Structure 1
Amino acid sequence: MFVRATYDREKKTVHYFDADGNETLYIGGSFAWRTSNPGNLTKPHAYVMKSAIGYAQRTSKAKSFFIIFPDRAAGQEAHQKLLKSVYGDSTIRSMITVYAPPSENDTEDYIGFVTKKAGVSSTDVIGSLPDDKFKAVAAAMEQKEGWVPGVIKPLGKPVQVQMLDKLNQPFAGQPMQIKGASASFDAKTNENGELPWIYSGLLGQDVNIVYKRAQDDHENVGKISTSSASNAFTFNAPYHLIPTRPRLHAKDESGRPRVHIVQPGETLSSIAAKYGTTTDAMVGANGLKDANHIYAQQHLKIPLDGAPSQSANQTPAPMASTTPHTPVAPAAPASASSTHANGATVTSAAAHSTPATTSQAPGATSTGATPSAAGSATSSPPASAAASTAGVVHQHAPNGHPQTVVSSPTLEPSGAVWCSRFPGSASLDSLNDSFKAKASAFITAMRDAHILVRINAALRPIQRSYLMFHAFEIAKGHESPDHVEPYPGVNIDWVHRSANGSMDLEASVKAAKEMCHGYGININSAMQAVGRPGRSRHNYGAAVDLNITGYVGKRVKDVTGNEVALSSFADLKHVGHGYGVNYYPHENMHWSDTGH
């Protein structure tokens, strides 16, 4: 018997979970078949149907959520109960008119199909039908709703594999190959050294774990059996025993932490002094514009030496040249504008920056640059200003006239590339001391009870929360890209523009959706929520996102040491509350100190 289910609309797949921790996929077929909902029943507002084990949104714009039942029999029982309890006093015609309204269906065709198939009249009252005729009406409706079987793929119980190095530390971010008799796939270990869950239904019972050191340098780590009583395995990477192999865990020999979380009252100079580095090095390592402007809870990288580090997107100062060059034109003042022959005026967002070249239509003039006889101005920025020079993009206006758009060099368009910026942590060590102890105790209790627990997220920088929140809001259509307030240190441009300089909403939303995908945010899930920056408990090391499976029927120790039998998720939430780890019902998998 399945006890829980989730729906993937894009893949047309329902993921079912049974009480023993086994998982099964229902792939393809009709929507009614995938959801085991032959009557296509929807969730009745706030009412919770006891036999429901999940909900599915049929389309991205649908306001109704269809119920997922544990099997077809449960769906049929719920359908028949609905017909009797809600439509018992209605005629078949009036019932179907409400059940399949003309705004969404060919209601007359629906009525004709059901009455002919069941051998009844459209004026018959539902509650007065003999039992065989009533069941015939229900069966005809289910046939009309569509029941086309697809593919059932049993996955079995998931197996968790963790890789540790010689020092028993997580072997993170390493390329591995999981090879089974039925299939194989490549994957990287996550921050905790864990591989994606392994299923016997996909790979077979005997699975080899291989480390892919290089293209032609593979090393067998070990073998697991998915039929084993154990559902979690840990391997110590064997190549650490070979001294000739390169070390893959380079460490800061000084023992300094790589990241400092700014506390109220701290200054950049005091933080630099604390770690034995310089203010300039801190500015360079973090790309700060103003050494006097930092804020509480900001995450600052600590450079490994006192020398300022050069940002990856900075342009090195050019070498001195003996070739004569055009004298440098005066720098354009802040908010300098360029007026072109077509009447368009473009404002530069970069103060005191000088374009390298500016091409204009004949007769045009540009503030801050001396036009040549050919109608163009050329200037070379000083070497020290090379990294801050505004970019120049040559475009054409709708009327075909050329125009030059001067863009700010400090903003980078939104998109998937931002997902790797301001990385968060999935390690319990990143949590604050108080919540770390509570979460560790709760997770240990579950794992001791052979419950599968995966930590998806722990500490999250506020900057990352800012990116996640606004990407989600834009992707959902709740916020316009040009209305997003900037955040210090996050130089993202949420607005993508068309050739004429106007906002390209479609491209802006597409980029936001790409970011959501990169962050693992399901914009189609009704359970998905993203906390505002500064409000999320993740920002303070007081929340974890946990993927927990196989808990039904297990006995787990509560905070007092007494064993508690878990028959539902409510039981697990109660145990977590005792440890001081509270589930947040409006965001899937989210547990925190306050329940928010």
Structure 2
Amino acid sequence: MPTYISAVFNKDTRTVEFTADNGDKLIRSGGSLAWLLNNPGNLRPGGKYAKMIGQADTKSGKFAIFPTAEDGRAEKRALLRRKYNDMTLYNAMHTYAPESENDTAAYLAYVRKRSGATDQTVIKDMTDEQFNGMIAAMEQYEGFNAKPETRKERIVHATQVTLSDGARPMPATPVIVRSSNTGEKKVTTNEHGALPTFITRQPGEVIELFLEESGKIGSRIGQFALQQASASLVFARNMMTVGGNSQPHTPTQPSKEKRTPLRYVVQPGDTLASIASRFKTSVDDLVSNNHIRNRNRIYPGHVVWIYGKAPADAANDGAPATPTRSRQASYSVRSGDTLSRIADRHHTSVDALMAANPSISNANRINPGQKITLPVGVEAVPPSAAGSSRRAGNSGNPQTSDRPSLVKPPPETPAAAVRPPASVQARDTRSREGEGHPIAIIPFSQKRAPWVEHAYAQARKWAGKKEAEISRTINFHSELGYGKQFTTLAGSSNAWCASFVNWCLRTAGYAISSPHPYRARSFAADTTRFSQIDEPVFGAVALVGTSHVGFVYAMDRGRPVLLGGNQSDQINFVRFNPATLRYYVPKSYLPFAQKELKETKLDELAATDLNAALGIVVAKKAGDNTR
């Protein structure tokens, strides 16, 4: 049976859309509000409800949404034990159902009669029979079972398609969708390379995808059929091309031109000597330009500049300094928009949008022309991304799925070129140091786990500083839009390992886990954006049990070394028992990861040496724990 991992309430239609871990959607309407939301106790959001998957902004205020009614009951029991355990039944009911909102006397009398307890019975002293009787009475009084004849439910299946260059998502890519049933329409991938979700209305409907080139149908990407089951597909294409202009043959007066500094991220297996050889420079120049203390020790993720020092406007790359906050994009509300639709379009959540826009008090009240600030790291999707039909088409809202990813090989016909980032632009020069035939030096495309450089930069920047000090400058929860729930990184109730991992992924241009990016287990639950792999590769997200997460960095005597946050309240390197680990990569990175599994081994590096190189002194906790 599928597990529901997120839910969205539509106030206008009084419906709830539950999204399952396999991508299916349950559309529910009618019945009582308590039944509709799987919330028998009518619990309000804001409490520490581990199983809450959404919230409903109703005419009666906000209420939590749970995956199942039993989950709602379990949270109700936990709340009563946590908050009301030392109260008498009389005081508990007057606190739980205040007279300003309820007929508290009638409510109390009903619970008293059904539970067999008295007004002065203390909750913690109740027998199991009395406690369960109280729970059942409250559920009945709250109206969970009311209006059963109006209840309606239906399940729909969805297919999510992501376009990848083999390692990176292909954002803002115009695509022509041709349906065997509904004709053609134009759509555009979002910032994470995902197309709008396809809803199965007629099983067997064939969908063909083509790149749009100069406003016309171009190279064929592939095809698939919509099934009576949800699916998540990745179409991998080698879209990276590098252009380089060579100089004229045999110049009249050869000269040694000063080459523009090139930013390079150290890869596993690199040494300064190998980098110098690859780029026709010297180790001495690399050491001098990058202030490297030990020419024999350089680690993956470290940024070095080749052919000169870093430009004045270059990124800090982790040197200890106050970072600038990530830019926040904005979105102008259009007619017909809702916060839910805006969140779906930008692959974020209503909660994150509300957190980024404190002025919005009602999630169901936004107006055309209103400016919405998007959460940090979320890019605005242009209006054209919503798609414009040539003929009546089949479109759907983004959904989730966990069917096995189907990675399609690149077609024989190459696709249109996508301009590579500056780090892979070709540079023109000549053979024999400026004499003879012109050549174009093309730097290696750095596709390998580009998010690791951001994790390494943070480890280097903070050099063992504790979470309380890090919080004064950056709160990774807040960066993802959850600053109201987690105002600091410090403390046992604010675990930030998952938020750190997601921050690094988002900074590198990849999608973050959903629906709860601050939870480690969200990477296992989000089978739309992440795929599980059998063995570790460099940069893979490693889930430790269900409560911790970090990036695979190296091997240390047979055990993976994870680079992560919230390890001894720091950002550092720690060895973990492989028996406790599961590995995940972004869907768009899966083809590259599969190639890595066949061809590349992890570096053998000791966690103690890695920490020492960055000046990190790992502070052990009680019982020699690191978390």
What range is the shorter-chain TM-score in?
Answer: 0.3 to 0.5
TM-score (norm 1): 0.39
Higher relative contact order (CA 8 A, sep 6+): 2
TM-score (norm 2): 0.38
